[in-house]
Structure 1
Amino acid sequence: MTKPILVYRGEYVESSHNLHIAVVNKEGKLLYSYGNPERLTFPRSSMKPFQAVPLVETGAADAFDYRPADLALSCASHSGENYHREAVLGILEKLELTEEALQCGTHTPWDLQSYKQLLRAGKDVTPIFSNCSGKHSGMLATAVHKKEDAASYREVEHPVQQRILTCIEAICEYPKDRIQRSVDGCGVPVHQLPLKNAALGYAKLAHPDGMVEQHYAIILNRIREAMIAHPEMVGGTGRFDTDLMKAYNGRIVSKAGAEAVQCIGLVEEGVGIAIKVEDGGTRAVNVASMEVLKQLGLEDEQIFSVLKNYVTAPVLNARKETIGVVKANFVLNKV
């Protein structure tokens, strides 16, 4: 059986990937699917916009004078570029905390220029380089504002994490006693739910009015508008979420998750899309996302030209020569 994502070396298929896709409207109706739209999935960082809801709901964002760019950063898997790091440090300064308060760990940043600068200076990466440092600084902000223990903010029973669980239950319409939890790459709880419920969350993020309690609608509108207004904070230079939101200019909100998850909200339509590549192959997920947008009627010649390296992703050799492509090869099932 032909797989939905094909990886070509020259003219020959070398590898392939399976997909699961759910496309849901804001009322919760499954519109299109591929594979298993009920697949239990950890959406990973795609849940960051919902993890940011308590930051606004508690009043912490206003108390610490969060700019829209800061709010977008709290939803980010950022590249660790200078402006990302400076923004995180600015938030921590308002909280009267140092970088050591961040419990996200660290890793080599996606922005290799920043990493090379560090190496030339004889320094090593620190927690602000973590792609999750914006999320963690937001969690710290809620704990500090509520006068809760900041040292244990990532523990599953901490009020910070319990508020997040309540928000995910309400927005994604999945009972919290059925949401299984594990640990994300940055050390905080991560939530498992059916793919179609993640898609529903993004339908509501895109168009929440009348679909959730009014205070949630106000918050989700604020978070979405911040992400769309500052897509560079959500990802960074050459990142899919950033490039997609820029190209669609207010019509799409987008957030990737680890292990090849992608969630997208269509603002005008009030439709949510959740995609999971079965084997976690990240090279497949952007191509799959662009094919879904195409099949939903959002193909635009100019936009797709700008995003051409995501529509069919080039396979490069060590000399940076294109020696193959990653192509989509599936048709969504209309429900």
Structure 2
Amino acid sequence: MTRGKRTQAAELEVRLLREGIIESKHQVQAVVCDDRGRVLSVAGNSETATFARSALKPFQALSVTATGTLDRYELSDRDLAIICSSHQGTIEQVRQVFNILWRSDIEASLLQCPIPEGKSSRLQYNCSGKHAGMLAVCQQRHWPLNTYLQHNHPVQQLIFGKVAELLRMPAAEFIHAHDDCGAPTYLLQLGQMASLYAQLASGQNLDMERIVRAMTHHPTMIAGEGEFDTELMRLTEGELVSKAGAEGVQCIGRTGEGMGIAIKVMDGAKRAKYAVAIHVLQQMGWIDPSVGEILTESFMTLGKFKRLEVIGELSIL
């Protein structure tokens, strides 16, 4: 990541108001970068590091687009979207995951993601699409299927290499750990995550362009009805690509313009990251006022007596 003149500014604060009285506060950092890694705007510190969690999924999906796996098994953009998803386990979404396995001639029992509490199948786990995509790549490349989550497995090394290449950093410098689903995730600076999403949305890479098209054309696959990523991409009609991660991570790219946003709520609160995303998108002029009003009503109005407000602005570098 290329550093700007400075990369630190005041954090944003999200307040939960109960009938106008402050009840809780969340501290949030946010960074805007271009596709060359330059920090354009910041609240907090662009070098704050956090695990990318599910915001990494579009880049894990590069293993599918870059290896010819999509064409080999005649997978569709809907399949590619579910590979990038953190889905709700609906019948439609589960069937899409199963379609990937069926076309790749892979048994569902080979999935190594957990079975969700109260459910009966690994297919219903929110990361099952990502796992199915990894298995499809392994099948296509004749790599071992039963060890695909190990960090030294060829499919994980392929993903690792793609991320390192995009960030123009030696792979040896990255720190990894296991996500809740068992797959490796990476400790990245917020500026690095924003730069990744700027590159994803830039339209300069055919594999990433196809991933963006799949996500924005099939937003219901990415999360589900009423979820932030789905509603934002649906309302902006392909202008923004959005992917949430656990523990207060949210990333957004503006398609065709090579700009990306990365957000981290320091206490991990989901409600705060959506409030900040709306606030930052409005400040950057990336959403129309009418879209902002709809999102505010859905994600910042928490009931009859509670609402969220964001204090502070991004500092323009």
Superposed pair shares fold, TM > 0.5:
yes
* Residue 301 (1) aligns with residue 289 (2): yes
CA-to-aligned-CA distance 1:46-88 (integer Å, 9 cap, x gap): 0100000011111111111110010011100011111100111
Equivalence map 1:228-239=2 (5 Å): 228-239=216-227
Q: Which residue of 2 is the match for residue 153 of structure 1? A: 148
Determine if contact 2:13/2:26 at 8 Å carries over to the other structure: yes
Distance in 2 between the 1:174 and 1:238 partners? 37
Q: Which residue of 2 is the match for residue 183 of structure 1? A: 178
CA-to-aligned-CA distance 1:188-213 (integer Å, 9 cap, x gap): 1111111101100000100041xxxx
Which aligned runs of 4 or more in structure 1 are off by greater than 4 angstroms? none
SS in 1 for 2:30: strand
Aligned residue identity for 1:223: I
**Of residues 244, 261, 265 in structure 1, which corresponds to 2:249?**
261
Equivalence map 1:49-128=2 (5 Å): 49-108=58-117, 124-128=119-123
Distance in 2 between the 1:155 and 1:253 partners? 29
SS in 2 for 1:288: helix
Relative to structure 2, which stretch is displaced further, 135-144 or 35-44?
A: 35-44
Q: Which residue of 1 is the match for residue 301 of structure 2? A: 314
Q: Which residue of 1 is the match for residue 305 of structure 2? A: 323
Distance in 1 between the 2:291 and 2:269 partners? 25
Aligned residue identity for 2:179: D
Q: Which residue of 2 is the match for residue 212 of structure 1? A: none
Q: Which residue of 1 is the match for residue 201 of structure 2? A: 206
Determine if contact 2:16/2:23 at 8 Å carries over to the other structure: yes
| Unmatched runs of 5 consecutive residues or more in structure 1 | 109-114, 116-123, 210-216, 317-321
Q: Which residue of 1 is the match for residue 6 of structure 2? A: none
**Identical columns (%):** 36
Aligned residue identity for 1:327: E
Q: Which residue of 1 is the match for residue 43 of structure 2? A: 34
CA-to-aligned-CA distance 1:74-120 (integer Å, 9 cap, x gap): 10001111110011111111122222111011224xxxxxx7xxxxx
Distance in 2 between the 1:130 and 1:243 partners? 21
Taking structure 1 as the reference length, the TM-score comes to: 0.89
Distance in 2 between the 1:187 and 1:21 partners? 27
Equivalence map 1:240-279=2 (5 Å): 240-279=228-267
* Residue 9 (1) aligns with residue 4 (2): no
Distance in 2 between the 1:204 and 1:189 partners? 21
Q: Which residue of 1 is the match for residue 280 of structure 2? A: 292
Aligned residue identity for 1:166: G
Equivalent pairs, count? 308
* Residue 218 (1) aligns with residue 210 (2): no
Taking structure 2 as the reference length, the TM-score comes to: 0.94
Distance in 2 between the 1:94 and 1:156 partners? 26
Distance in 2 between the 1:3 and 1:244 partners? 21
Relative to structure 1, is the Cα distance of residues 144 and 299 closer, same or farther in structure 2, using a 3 angstrom cutoff?
closer
Determine if contact 2:203/2:256 at 8 Å carries over to the other structure: no
SS in 1 for 2:126: coil
Instruction: Report the alpha carbon displacement of residue 185 of structure 1 after superposing the two structures with TM.
Output: 0.7
Aligned residue identity for 1:206: A
SS in 2 for 1:105: coil
Relative to structure 2, which stretch is displaced further, 297-306 or 74-83?
A: 297-306
Aligned residue identity for 2:262: A
Aligned residue identity for 1:186: C
Distance in 2 between the 1:53 and 1:2 partners? 33
SS in 2 for 1:150: coil
* Residue 164 (1) aligns with residue 159 (2): yes
Distance in 2 between the 1:160 and 1:187 partners? 14
Distance in 2 between the 1:84 and 1:201 partners? 26
Determine if contact 1:250/1:267 at 8 Å carries over to the other structure: yes
Instruction: Report the alpha carbon displacement of residue 4 of structure 1 after superposing the two structures with TM.
Output: 1.1
Relative to structure 1, is the Cα distance of residues 55 and 309 closer, same or farther in structure 2, using a 3 angstrom cutoff?
same
CA-to-aligned-CA distance 1:251-282 (integer Å, 9 cap, x gap): 10000001010000011322100000001011
| Unmatched runs of 5 consecutive residues or more in structure 2 | 1-9
Relative to structure 1, is the Cα distance of residues 32 and 203 closer, same or farther in structure 2, using a 3 angstrom cutoff?
same
How large is the Cα RMSD of the aligned pairs? 1.5
